[in-house]
Structure 1
Amino acid sequence: MSRLIPLELPPTGGHPHHVLLRLPDGKPAQGPLPVLCLLDGQWTLPLLEESGHPALQRCAILSLGYQGDRDQITRYRALDYTPPGPDGGLWEDPRVPEWQAGGAPAMIEQVRRALALAQGVAPALTRARISLYGHSYAGLFVLYALSQQSLPIHHYLCASPSLWWRDPLIWTLLEQLGKPVQVDILAGASEAWYPLSAQAAGPEGRKNGVPTLPTMRQLQAHLQAQGMQANLHVLPGAGHGHVLAQATLRALELACGAA
């Protein structure tokens, strides 16, 4: 059993965020609960709830998600999870030009507000270890947040981050990192990158994908060279679409301190 507490955030980027704080029933055995901050909560929180994973009883979950149809959510994600342009403002998504992008600084402030609201509801969470988790575009946002280190995050979890997005932008942002923190990278063994988006590829699908696992290993080495405690978790047999469920469960375990 658990308690789901809705939290109200002001809209940003022209759309609202659906925020929930999930607290397990009962008191933790020792100290405050760790906090797993979930991006794309409209998908990731139900995955965890349906899993019945025992770690759900050992973790507080702060879910930031969206409401609306899939096309709307896709556009919201492209805006919220991507780094700003050279002038610090918005620009277009490289693969789908009609999508606005570059809203990650505003999204960082939304995460900060959500954490503050959660800590207001459950003051013990002010002493908690906080993990931030995202997949794909949301994984790119996790790396952007790491590059800024302006949030009270102790542990960054990025699953299949969209490193291709205006490459080499995120690599440049990760060149001068601050204090060492734990970073866990999760990737599917069968993932590939495609130069065309699924929308642009049309009904025939995409071909000639480039395996992404070597790039994930490069990311791990890059972060380790910056002094981060960077780990790579390879999910066997998983392509990009299958990573979300496996990686979200693994992120819960890692947020709770599993090796």
Structure 2
Amino acid sequence: MAGLGRVGPDHARRDAALELLRNGSATHDLSQKVVATGPGHRLFLAVPKAAPPPLGWPVLYMLDGNAAFDFLTAADLARVPGLVIVGVGYDTEKQFSRELRTLDFTAPDGPGDGLRADHVHEGRTAGGAAIFHDRLTGPLRAAAEAGLAIDPARRTLWGHSFGGLFTLYALLARPEGFARYAAISPSIWWDEALIRRIAARAAPASRPLLVALGDREKRSGSDGPPPDGPAPATMDFIAGLARHPGHRTVPHVLAGHVHIQTLAGSFPLVLPFAAAD
């Protein structure tokens, strides 16, 4: 297994084609902007062409925004003509920034800022989730929502893989940041003991949580065929959350989906989830 984390799956190296931004949408105005906070971020925006409702639009924040907007289609947007979608990515041409997402999407564990060497991926730094959460709900949110009529009671956070792990962290450690959460194929395996400790310390909450994962997933870089059925550790963790005060969710199992396929495979679930009253 040594070195597999450095090799990484092929999809992690791909450029983002962003055909949606080139081809446009009948229901949404599309744009992107660079925000120079932190390591530098790109925000991808899909804003409804229709007038906002009296209390403002609901908004879906999607981590790994370069990849999320690479997979989104005009047909996806047409299903939710009244939903603002914000892709929070990095200032790169790639779908993913592997080193930065490892830093930003993994939780701190210990005193101080919690930063430490990644025990899985040699040469990477981990533990920056609290710092990133402040950036996400501070300057990045301000830049994304500038000039838009947004309903602050209808903000949803979506994350896939490490982004799904961050979504669980945000729900459990800082639930006031968003009204709803969608964790897709969360990387429980990265430090299962840590996310369980965070869950054990969490105060009772009533934020809706959507979880989805594939039944053909395996950890990126691992040997052997995909397993039959969804990841047992994730299913067990979600079952544990269901026993925690305020958290009630049933995971959606996406049939025939390997890990990368659950990213777009979650859209039919999460888009109406985020748009709902």
Is 1:238 the counterpart of 2:238 in the alignment? no
Inter-partner Cα distance in structure 2 for 1:215 and 1:192:
11
Deviates more, 1:159-168 or 1:68-77: 68-77
Inter-partner Cα distance in structure 2 for 1:25 and 1:72:
29
Is 1:24 the counterpart of 2:24 in the alignment? no
Q: Do the aligned residues in 2 keep the contact of 1:112 with 1:151 (CA within 8 Å)?
A: no
Equivalent residue for 2:224? 207
1:139 corresponds, among 164, 186, 191, to 164
Structure 2 letter corresponding to 1:222: G
Aligned-pair CA distance for 1:70: 4.6
Equivalent residue for 2:143? 117
Aligned-pair CA distance for 1:20: 2.9
Change (3 A) 1:147 1:254: same
Aligned-pair CA distance for 1:214: 2.6
Q: Do the aligned residues in 1 keep the contact of 2:216 with 2:226 (CA within 8 Å)?
A: no
Q: Secondary structure at the match of 1:184?
A: strand
Equivalent residue for 2:110? 86
Deviates more, 1:22-31 or 1:163-172: 22-31
After superposition, give the CA deviation of every residue in 1:172-230 in whole Å (9 maximum; x if it has no partner).
Answer: 1011323221111110011123xxx53xx6xxxx2266664332322222212112122
Q: Secondary structure at the match of 1:238?
A: coil
Q: Do the aligned residues in 1 keep the contact of 2:62 with 2:158 (CA within 8 Å)?
A: yes
Percent identity, please: 27
Aligned-pair CA distance for 1:21: 3.0
Q: Do the aligned residues in 2 keep the contact of 1:23 with 1:61 (CA within 8 Å)?
A: yes
Is there any run of 5+ residues in structure 1 with no aligned partner, and where? none
Deviates more, 1:169-178 or 1:130-139: 169-178
Change (3 A) 1:146 1:192: same
Inter-partner Cα distance in structure 1 for 2:180 and 2:36:
26
Equivalent residue for 1:75? 99
Q: Secondary structure at the match of 1:222?
A: helix
Equivalent residue for 2:184? 159
TM norm structure 2: 0.79
Change (3 A) 1:136 1:52: closer
Inter-partner Cα distance in structure 1 for 2:47 and 2:80:
9
Deviates more, 1:66-75 or 1:139-148: 66-75
Q: Do the aligned residues in 1 keep the contact of 2:116 with 2:127 (CA within 8 Å)?
A: yes
After superposition, give the CA deviation of every residue in 1:75-108 in whole Å (9 maximum; x if it has no partner).
Answer: 1111111112323321122221211111111210
Is 1:247 the counterpart of 2:266 in the alignment? yes
Aligned-pair CA distance for 1:155: 0.7
Deviates more, 1:102-111 or 1:242-251: 242-251
Give the CA RMSD over aligned residues. Answer: 2.4
After superposition, give the CA deviation of every residue in 1:28-84 in whole Å (9 maximum; x if it has no partner).
Answer: 466432110110110112322344442331201121012336597111111111112
Count of equivalent residues: 246
Change (3 A) 1:52 1:160: closer
Is there any run of 5+ residues in structure 2 with no aligned partner, and where? 1-25
Structure 1 letter corresponding to 2:241: L
Q: Do the aligned residues in 2 keep the contact of 1:17 with 1:64 (CA within 8 Å)?
A: yes
TM norm structure 1: 0.84
